[in-house]
Structure 1
Amino acid sequence: MSMSQSQRTAFEAIGGFTVSQSTQLLSGLVLAVALVFAGWAILSGYRGWAAGHLSQGRFFSLFIKVALIYILLTALVLH
């Protein structure tokens, strides 16, 4: 549902920024949080692999899953 022109004007007057700027901010925050999570997951997997608790195949599987999730999230958020 899109905003009417009077709603956009009120939003910009009260917020001090445009609707597209707030959308970009929210998209950026979502992708930044997802990137931090991806880094944490891969680092934890690496530590498990280095300690011998995780096989190389499972670590590779974890890496591929995290990368695919991030790629799909990026495509969905930026589309």
Structure 2
Amino acid sequence: MSMSPQQVTAFQAMGGFTPQQSTTLFIGLVLSSALLFAAWALASGYRGWATGQISQAKFVGLTLKVILIYILLTFLLLH
């Protein structure tokens, strides 16, 4: 359901920004949080692989899962 012109005007008057700008901000925050999580997961996986705690196959699996999740999240949010 879209907002009426009066609602958009009221939103801009009280918030100082448009609804589209708030949506862009929300999507940016979600994607940046997901990217930080991906970096943390890959760094932790690499440390485990480098110290021999996990196998190379598990590290590759982790990497593929993280990449797939980020691609799907990006597609769902930006489509």
TM-score of the two chains, using structure 2 as the length reference: 0.97
SS at 2:43 equivalent = helix
Given the alignment of the two structures, is residue 75 of structure 1 paired with residue 75 of structure 2, yes or no? yes
Instruction: Calculate the aligned-residue CA RMSD, in Å.
Output: 0.5
Aligned length: 79
Letter of the aligned partner of 2:66 in structure 1? Answer: V
What residue number does 2:52 align with?
52
Return the alpha-carbon distance in structure 2 between the equivalents of residues 71 and 19 of structure 1. 25
* Runs of 4+ off more than 2 Å: none
Return the alpha-carbon distance in structure 2 between the equivalents of residues 30 and 2 of structure 1. 22
Gaps of 5+ in 1: none
Letter of the aligned partner of 1:10 in structure 2? Answer: A
TM-score of the two chains, using structure 1 as the length reference: 0.97
1:5 shift after superposition: 1.1
Q: Deviations over 1:11-60 (max 9, x none)?
A: 00000011111111000000000000000000000000001000000000
Given the alignment of the two structures, is residue 21 of structure 1 paired with residue 21 of structure 2, yes or no? yes
**What is the percent sequence identity of the aligned residues?**
65
